[in-house]
Chains A and B, each alone.
Chain A
Amino acid sequence: MRSNDVIIQTATKAVVFIILLFAIYIFFAGHYSPGGGFVGGLLAAGALVLLMLAFDIETVNRIIPVDYVQIAAAGLLISLGTAAASILFGVPFFTHAHTYVYLPLLGKTSFHSATLFDLGVFLVVVGVTMIIIQTIGEDE
């Protein structure tokens, strides 16, 4: 027997985007105010979990057909690559670089290689959380 989940599904459709936006906000805000890759990643994973709760794993996998193992691996590679890139410029491993540029819409914007590193963290956290929940959820 299948119960009628129309309220939760409708609410989810709206809320998921808010959570995802919040996650991205938290991620980008991390360098200046509370947040960062870790919390951002967890929140993004939370949004995906909410989708899975409202619908079911197969549906979510069909909508977002990604392999989270690859996401986690990509995150690790990005982080390691960011850290290792500094060697190419003749400075020690893990030296970050940053600069300010004026973009047409955003004005004075800070570009910091730490953000790239944080992106790696973000992806790893999303990947790992989703792997855990998916794997356990699919287990009989």
Chain B
Amino acid sequence: MTPVFFVFLPIVLAFFIPILFKKLPQIHTGWFVLAAPLFLVAYYAAFLPGSAAGETVTSSFSWIPSLDIAISSYLDGLSLLFSLLITGIGSLVVLYSIFYLDKNREQLHNFYVYLLIFMSAMLGVVQSDHLISLYLFWELTSISSFLLIGYWYTRDRSRFGAMKSMLITVFGGLMMLGGFILLYLMGGTYSIRELIAQAPEIANHDLFVWSLILILLGAFTKSAQLPFYIWLPDAMEAPTPVSAYLHSATMVKAGLYVVARFTPIFAVSPVWIWLVTGIGLLTMTWASFFALKQRDLKGILAFSTVSQLGLIMSLLGVASVAFHVDGAESTVFKYAAFAAIFHLINHAMFKGSLFMVTGIIDHETGTRDIRKLGGLMGIMPVSFTLAVIGSLSMAGLPPFSGFLSKEMFLRAMLSLTEFDLFSFETWGILFPVIAWIGSVFTFIYSFYFVFHTFAGEHKPELLPKSAHEAPFGMLISPAVMAALVVILFFIPNLLAVWFIKPAVLAIQPFLYNAPGEIDVHVSAWHGLQPEFFMTLGIYAVGGLMYWTLRKWQRIYDVFSHTYSLNGLYDSLIYLSDAGMNRLSGLYMTGFIRNYLVYMFGFLILITLGTLGVSDAFEFDLTGTAPIRAYEVILGIVLVAATVTILMAKSRLTAIISLGAVGYTVALFFVIFRAPDLALTQLVIETISVALFLLAFYHLPQLSRHEERMKFRFGNALVALGVGVTMSLVAFSAQAQKALPSISEYYKETVYTEAAGGNIVNVILVDYRGFDTLFEITVLGIAAVAIIGMIRLRLTRKEDVNEKQ
């Protein structure tokens, strides 16, 4: 079995989950689910030694060979790290959910099926080497995430959140698909590795920047960057295990993964560096600022996730700079890739554990409102310990792993000021300043989160339930993660050898040949560097501001909903729904008259436009027959009859004038020597006039007032336009006959080949009898339709029944 098949293992298991749920209701379904991620962790861990030595494993199976589409699995340092995160945290989340979700009240089969689909999709995203299969799995994560957010589908907020995240991430996904297709057009291959190999050629292509921006749009929407982060806080309506898994540890990192994976292709472009670094930093600071506005524990964590994702994103941007500099200077930028991966692991750990602690608080007290909570320190000591570890790591305090990665982050940002490419020397100073401000707010909200929940006075009267410590099983998963947060602080270099350096090799493949060449050594104490003083500043200012939080927290009331990004989203949704309704209401009036005006208007526009653009109009009277007196007289009669129809006051006059037109046309057929047509025209005209009279006789009494057709200028204009257009076309067509008529052939062969004398009839029944066959079919259908319309009056019968 090649590794690519193991991607589908969770989905295959998902098929059996509903059966297990129905057949074995006494056992919590989660225990069966747990097998898949646990097995996969062990499976992927077996690849670690190879990956640490710089080896990669590729496997694939062809899906649509004629289109060169395959499902492929490419396991290098980066995808292996992500795979382990997905399956590892997946195992912990499943374990946690076993205790979090009640097996009797919840629809567990739905939950675990969605979760397993998501797991497969995520593994597919991070392991795909093929652009199309990457996109396929990408959309599968969007869909499964949509299903998980809307898990409690009877709640309005859940449905709203699911819809919002779906719209935003699918928008990004589609943009990304566009970017992928452009990449394929430029490189001629779907394989990411092959595209990376020809990165220098691709960089000179015209479509390069478009592809870059489209792929970044996809990555930014998925990873909740500015201005697309708004779906993530609303996705907090999902069950807490989902928030912990999808919206902190895995799915939101898919965007980071894509940025990291495509860095070797796009890093040469300054647009990429500016966008990734700039948007990342702005997102970090913006979200950390607004995290303090939140009153919901999960809201705080959502904004904190957005902020941390921005931090990692900006580090990936700085890592791209390494492609532009050589020698000793480049080492600082190599640090950035290292720091990005390091912080990504840290964040997955502490954010997962924090979400689970929030779930515990919600579960045991019945609320997540930070204003009602407080003083839980003595009641829930274990949860408190876990929350403190997670929060302080998030704030960047020693001895937790967050401290190390935060130091590296500040160092990377400081290095940008010394970088003299793409006018970084002038604006570069802004980067560390913004990063520092963001870090200060991160510090404050970390303290706000943990101490407003656990410290202070206990308010049992506000809580729906009486608070108590969580069951042991619920605490295992967050405890494992929190323990890792502490352990990683002491063994960062071991982590680096096994996980980080192979991943960095995937991000910056041109700079090294093997993971061993990456000469980064993490140490908790690295001397009195500038970043150390920045960290001290963060603690000082952050501590001071946290102390005075109650005084200045009121400034958040200034930011109203209307002028926020959520307000913009709401009005966009309103526009696309009600606005579009109104727009279509403007022209879809329901009056046939208006639709006819559109049709004729466009007919005139398109025909006259074509005539004008191709300069096709021509007027030529050579070759026309001389005009005789009969034709003039008949023409006058025809025009007089037509004008009478238009001017007639009574409908009877109009019908009779129409008959006059028909008979005049029959006379025209006579003088233009078409006896068959004349005969048919005479008979048909008679029948249709009779039918008109019948319809006239049956007009309802009420609307039978006789009045002249109203004159409407618009109608006259359109009618005139159509008449002039068609006349012009007819004149031009007459003047430019390209080929001689085919009728000579008919004249010559009508007797010899078809044994007939009447050329019209022979054409009708012999040369082109096929047309006639279907014309008589049309007649038959018309007759059947008339029978149907007149005899089958179901509505009238119903009326009769009602009266009875």
Chain A residues close to B by CB (< 8 Å) = 26, 30-39, 42-43, 46, 69, 72-73, 75-76, 79-80, 83, 94, 96, 98, 110, 112, 114, 117-118, 120-121, 124-125, 127-129, 131-132, 135-136, 139
Q: How far is the CA of A131 from the CA of B782 in the complex (A)?
A: 10
With an 8 A cutoff between CB atoms, is B727 at the interface? Answer: no
Known interface pairs A127-B783, A128-B780; A46-B683 also in contact (CB < 8 Å) = yes
With an 8 A cutoff between CB atoms, is B687 at the interface? Answer: yes
Q: Name the B residues within 8 Å of A135 (CB-CB).
A: 786-787, 790-791
B676 touches A69 (CB 8 A): no
Q: How far is the CA of A75 from the CA of B769 in the complex (A)?
A: 14
B783 touches A131 (CB 8 A): yes
Q: Name the B residues within 8 Å of A32 (CB-CB).
A: 756-758
A121 touches B772 (CB 8 A): yes
Q: Name the A residues within 8 Å of B773 (CB-CB).
A: 79-80, 83, 94
Contact of B790 among A31, A43, A73, A136 (CB under 8 A): A136
B780 touches A124 (CB 8 A): yes
B766-801 Cβ-contact flags toward A at 8 Å (1 or 0): 100110110011011011101100110000000000
Contact of A34 among B675, B780, B782 (CB under 8 A): B675
With an 8 A cutoff between CB atoms, is B694 at the interface? Answer: yes
A34 touches B679 (CB 8 A): yes
List B residues 666-682 near A (Cβ within 8 Å). Answer: 675-676, 679-680
State the Cβ distance, B785 to closest chain A Cβ, in Å.
Answer: 10
State the Cβ distance, B604 to closest chain A Cβ, in Å.
Answer: 35
State the Cβ distance, A42 to closest chain B Cβ, in Å.
Answer: 4
**Can you name the residue of chain B whose Cβ is closest to the Cβ of A75?**
B776
With an 8 A cutoff between CB atoms, is B53 at the interface? Answer: no
With an 8 A cutoff between CB atoms, is B597 at the interface? Answer: no
State the Cβ distance, B584 to closest chain A Cβ, in Å.
Answer: 39
State the Cβ distance, B470 to closest chain A Cβ, in Å.
Answer: 81
A125 touches B779 (CB 8 A): yes
Q: How far is the CA of A128 from the CA of B782 in the complex (A)?
A: 8
**Can you name the residue of chain B whose Cβ is closest to the Cβ of A72?**
B780
Q: How far is the CA of A30 from the CA of B675 in the complex (A)?
A: 11
B776 touches A79 (CB 8 A): yes
With an 8 A cutoff between CB atoms, is B764 at the interface? Answer: yes
A131 touches B787 (CB 8 A): yes
Output the residue of B755, B764, B777 with the most chain A CB within 10 A. B755
State the Cβ distance, B802 to closest chain A Cβ, in Å.
Answer: 19
B765 touches A121 (CB 8 A): yes
Q: Name the B residues within 8 Å of A26 (CB-CB).
A: 679
A-B contact pairs, 24 of them (CB 8 A): A31-B755, A31-B758, A31-B762, A32-B756, A33-B757, A37-B765, A39-B676, A39-B680, A42-B683, A43-B683, A79-B772, A96-B754, A96-B765, A98-B754, A112-B755, A112-B756, A114-B754, A118-B765, A121-B772, A125-B776, A127-B783, A131-B787, A136-B790, A139-B790
A76 touches B776 (CB 8 A): yes
Q: How far is the CA of A133 from the CA of B772 in the complex (A)?
A: 23
Q: Name the B residues within 8 Å of A128 (CB-CB).
A: 779-780, 782-783
Output the residue of B675, B676, B684, B783 with the most chain A CB within 10 A. B783
**Can you name the residue of chain B whose Cβ is closest to the Cβ of A95?**
B766
With an 8 A cutoff between CB atoms, is B594 at the interface? Answer: no
State the Cβ distance, B452 to closest chain A Cβ, in Å.
Answer: 83
